[in-house]
Amino acid sequence: MRPAVRETYGPVDLGNLPIFAGGFINFGHWHGINLTPDRPLTETDRIRSQKDLYRLVLDAAALPKAPTVLEVGCGLGTGCALTVREHDGATVTGMDIHPDQLTRARAAQAELLRGEPLDGNPRHDGPRPLRFVQGAAERMPLPDGGFDAVVSVEAAQHFPDLTAFARETARVLRPGGRMAVTSFFTTDAAPGRPAELAALLDTFANGLDIAHPVTALTDAATAAGLTDVRATSIGADVWPGWDRWLSRWWDPGTWPRNFLAAYEQGILDYYLVTADKRG
Ligand SMILES: C[S@@+](CC[C@H](N)C(=O)[O-])C[C@H]1O[C@@H](n2cnc3c(N)ncnc32)[C@H](O)[C@@H]1O
C-alpha cells in the first residue's frame, strides 16, 4: 500500500469527520440540493449529496435484478449498504486495500453482514447480502466473471495503476457486465498537470491523489477489451456544492477550496466513466 494511503485511512475515521459525515468519504453530487447563498447547508444535505453520488453510479451501472456488485475502494461500506438496501436482492462485495477501513466497515455494517432482514426488503433466506474483502484495485483476490457490475466511488484517484485496475475489472466482470467508476481526473494529459495540481492541493503534493488524465482510465478500459467506453463530466454537480460545504471551515484560497479553483482553471474535473464487457 502506498504510504499516503496508509496514513490517510489509518487510525482516524474520516467518515465521521464533519466535512464528510454519515459514514461516507466523497465530495458528493449536489444536483437538486438548494445551494442558494442565503440558505445554510445542513448535515442532511451533505449526507444526501454522498448518497446521490452512489445512486448516480449505480444507475449508470444498469444493474440487472438481484445483481452481484463489487465496489472497489469501499471505505466504511456505507455505499455497499445503500446498494443492498436500494437494489432488491443485491449481493455486494466491498473491497478496500486498507485493513483499518475494513475493520470500521465490518463494525458499521454488522447487521447486514449477519444477513438480518432489511426494513422493507425482507428477502434474505439465501446468500448473505454483503461481505468485505481486503484487496487492491490492481490485484483483486476474486474469481473470474463473478460480478454483474464493478463500481467505484472516489477511489480511483488513489490507484497507482489504472491499466491493472481496468484489466482486473474486465476479468472479474461476467460477460455482459458493466463498470461504473466516478472520481476526479485531470482534463488532459498535458505534462505540467501534476505540478500544477501539487501547487494548488496538498493531497496531490503529498502523493495521496494522483494526477491521472481521464483518458488514462478510458484508454485502459479499451485496452482491457471493454466496449462502449464513455467518460462524462459531472463536475458542475460536484465542485460548487463541495466548495459551498467547505466554506463553513475554510476561507477561499486555502486547502481544500482549491479543488474548485482547479476545476475553474480547466485542470481537474469530476467524471463518471462507464464501460461494458461483451456478452
Ligand atoms: C475517498 S475513500 C472513498 C470511500 C467510499 N467509496 C466512499 O465514497 O465513501 C477512498 C478509499 O479507497 C481505498 N483505496 C485506496 N487505494 C486503493 C487501492 N489501490 N485499491 C483498493 N482500495 C483503495 C482507501 O483505503 C479508501 O477507503
Give the pLDDT confidence of 161-216 residue by residue, as tens digits: 999 999 999 999 999 999 999 999 999 999 999 999 999 999 999 999 999 999 99
State how far the Cα of 10 lies from the Cα of 141, in Å rounded to an integer.
Answer: 22
State how far the Cα of 86 lies from the Cα of 170, in Å rounded to an integer.
Answer: 25
State the pLDDT confidence band at 17, using cuts at 50, 70 and 90: confident
Check pLDDT > 70 for residue 158: yes
96 in contact with ligand 1, CB cutoff 6 A: yes
3-state secondary structure labels for all residues of 172-190: HEEEEEEEEEEEEEECCCC
Residue nearest to atom 15 of ligand 1 (CA): 158
Closest ligand 1 atom to 101 CA: 27
9 in contact with ligand 1, CB cutoff 6 A: yes
Which ipTM was obtained for this model? 0.99
| Grid cell for residue 191 | 505534462
152 alpha carbon – ligand 1 mean position (Å) = 8
State how far the Cα of 266 lies from the Cα of 181, in Å rounded to an integer.
Answer: 21
Query: Which H or E run includes 130?
Result: strand 130-134
Query: Which H or E run includes 205?
Result: helix 202-205
Q: For the CA atoms of the chain, what is the radius of gyration?
A: 18
- The pTM for the full model equals 0.96
The pairing of strands 91-96 and 130-134 is parallel
Reported as a single tens digit per residue, the pLDDT across 73-132 is 999 999 999 999 999 999 999 999 999 999 999 999 998 998 766 555 555 456 689 999
190 alpha carbon – ligand 1 mean position (Å) = 26
Closest ligand 1 atom to 24 CA: 9
97 in contact with ligand 1, CB cutoff 6 A: yes
155 alpha carbon – ligand 1 mean position (Å) = 4
Amino acid at 64: P
Mean pLDDT of 125-141: 90
State how far the Cα of 204 lies from the Cα of 236, in Å rounded to an integer.
Answer: 21
| Contacts with 49 (C-beta within 8 Å, 6 or more apart), sequence order | 27, 28, 29, 30, 33, 241, 242, 245
Q: What is the DSSP letter of 116?
A: P
High-pLDDT (> 90) share of the chain, %: 90
Q: Are 180 and 58 in contact (CB under 8 A)?
A: yes
Cis peptide before 252 (omega within 30 of 0): no
